[in-house]
Structure 1
């Protein structure tokens, strides 16, 4: 007769983890989850409520996730015109950084470093007015004069010549101290606008005079500036010269348009007056804050300019049967190349400045390479248009010149908008 025997089994070590009830269902539609995404609504199963640094890392990964694609993207971007664009059009995209992500990454780096390059290359950047640098130069000169005066005063016996030198140094210290006070005065008060203007030019001529004798025309200008500055300090206004900034189209100095109502013309005129005052203050004092404001506005404006450039390409190559998004891809790749080429050229230019005294031969080499990179930009863009749109050399060259001319005007207008926007922010 068969018997049923009860046997005791040992517990196994396998542990079955039962997920928390909340994690079994989608937090959005409460449907059961079977994978990293909800099959019903598509929401990601992973919760977004994380530590702040984890969120930042995920955000950076979404924007800049370059991994191994970076090396496969940046090198052909610089050296092989239209290669990335044609690969993207052919559907071979997984090995390369997407055009928009590439542009965002390069443009952010470019505009962040632009301020530092301008600061490092301060002597070569065209500045409308650098009052702060002049103030620093005056302070340094006053310090040198005081040091020279102390040298004479510390002598045990003072000769007649030494006393004369001390008297001359006292007069120079007093004169440059007055210059310094005038340069530091409030631009918006009284005749300070004219006083600062005359003083700036006068101080520059003073420093030129220390290097050597001034030509006759500069001597005459020096004497004229002394007289004009004294009159301005006494409260007598000089006749406004042609260099003053004016935004007006009427003889009375106002701005108005016939197609606008009187009320809107008043608003336009008030805006023009405010803009004029800020421009005069910025251009006749330190232009540093204005330059920072302008650089800060350029990324947004360039991002708006990109779709307009794609429209220009669409019009110029209307028979190429390319979609608008394809023209936009060309615009993204071409601007990414331009930014990274200028960035590399500026880096080499800064390196040139550091090596110019210690390693002049190597500095010359970096200068040639930097110039070569800038020369490569128009050649690259021409080849890119030819390879993407597959037209002959003649038609490509004509269209390239037309596009370059129109786009240069667009860039100038963009720069003007950036300056106006920057002035309103100062």
Structure 2
């Protein structure tokens, strides 16, 4: 008679607990060894990628088109087929700010190119309407007076653009005088907007360095005042280098790149901090619903994930519209309308989401939606202002 022999059970190599599946129910360690051939590692990587990819396909469409659906699914315990809320929000946050970084860089380059072209057109025909030498001199004198007036309204480090304009105006005036057969201008003709000479102080610093503000808050420690002084100095230097037309174009680009990169490197961190604040606002305004703070945090994560997805799409649409504008204006205009529709869908989506999750009537939902939005707007504005200040001092 054949006897049934009980097969030996596998035990967890980490804690020794008998295993009932592929993972230890006591410590969570997998039964599979990490010491395996390379082709098995590639197979596991592809399996992980396809698994996450499938979850993305189940997560992103309802996130964008069905307000509150993912949150209600999460509350109902149906979570396996969807990307986790924090991971979803964080990935979309990084992608959105990356797209906006590209859009801002492109917009700044386009604005600078358009400004340069406009300045060249204006300067080229500055004295074209002057028919006599006296009209050219009077026109130049008035323009130089305007530059001299503007010079007093600018800080010491911003007068380079005025000097460039003065030299250009004098050159164009001399060219017009030569075309009219008149004598060129004397070297000291008209008012001058030359910058003040950089004098040296007692410690060898220039006048510009001596005029920079030094932060000295009495109740702050010395190292904090030093850091703030250094930050303010960096902000002034970056702003000066970015907008001083007397600087080289590469120097202006480098300064703008420093500021933009500094801002966009801090924005994702700031938004991660703002999400618990938004959840706290939901907790305060829906305190009688007796929901846990964790539930409000899930609502905040899905709300911000939708916002970042919308901003990502808006940034991509803006870039595509700008690229198509010289080639197909009609397609660019259509994408512009699509971008406007995205911006309109964002507040509507959040309102519908709030109504579906908290199950209150429309009057109370609208009132709380407005109050939460008003509070969050000013908090977000303050945080963005701090981020821009810190980013400009990068």
Sort the TM-score into its range (normalised by shorter chain): 0.5 to 0.7
How far is 1:284 from its partner?
1.0
Normalising by structure 1, report the TM-score.
0.63
Shift of the 42–271 alpha-carbon distance from structure 1 to 2, 3 Å rule, reads closer
Partner of 1:269: 225
Partner of 1:100: 86
Shift of the 316–298 alpha-carbon distance from structure 1 to 2, 3 Å rule, reads same
How large is the RMSD of aligned CA atoms in angstroms? Answer: 4.3
2:192 aligned with 1:227: yes
1:313 aligned residue (272, 278, 282):
282
CA distance in 1, matches of 2:261, 2:40: 32
Q: Pairwise mapping of residues 97-136 of structure 1 onto structure 2 (< 5 A)?
A: 97-123=83-109
CA distance in 2, matches of 1:208, 1:328: 61
How far is 1:403 from its partner?
1.3
How far is 1:137 from its partner?
6.5
2:45 aligned with 1:45: no
Contact 1:293 1:422 in 2 (8 A): yes
Contact 2:99 2:315 in 1 (8 A): no
Higher relative contact order (CA 8 A, sep 6+): 2
Contact 2:103 2:319 in 1 (8 A): yes
Equivalenced residues, count: 320
CA distance in 2, matches of 1:205, 1:84: 62
Partner of 1:385: 354
How far is 1:120 from its partner?
2.4
Partner of 1:187: none
The C-alpha deviation readout for 1:217-254, integer Å capped at 9, x for no partner, is xxxxxx9x9834343368799999xxx975xxxxxx65
Query: What secondary structure does 2:197 align onto?
Result: helix
1:256 aligned residue (192, 212, 217):
217
CA distance in 2, matches of 1:336, 1:226: 58
2:52 aligned with 1:66: yes
How far is 1:315 from its partner?
0.6
CA distance in 1, matches of 2:103, 2:277: 28
The C-alpha deviation readout for 1:34-72, integer Å capped at 9, x for no partner, is 642235543212234568998799789779943433333
Structure 1 unaligned spans of 5+: 1-22, 142-192, 213-222, 247-252
Based on CA coordinates, which of the two structures has the bigger radius of gyration? 1
CA distance in 2, matches of 1:408, 1:368: 25
1:396 aligned residue (351, 362, 365):
365
2:370 aligned with 1:409: no
Structure 2 unaligned spans of 5+: 1-8, 121-153, 174-187, 242-254
Contact 2:324 2:332 in 1 (8 A): yes
Shift of the 60–81 alpha-carbon distance from structure 1 to 2, 3 Å rule, reads farther
Partner of 2:234: 278
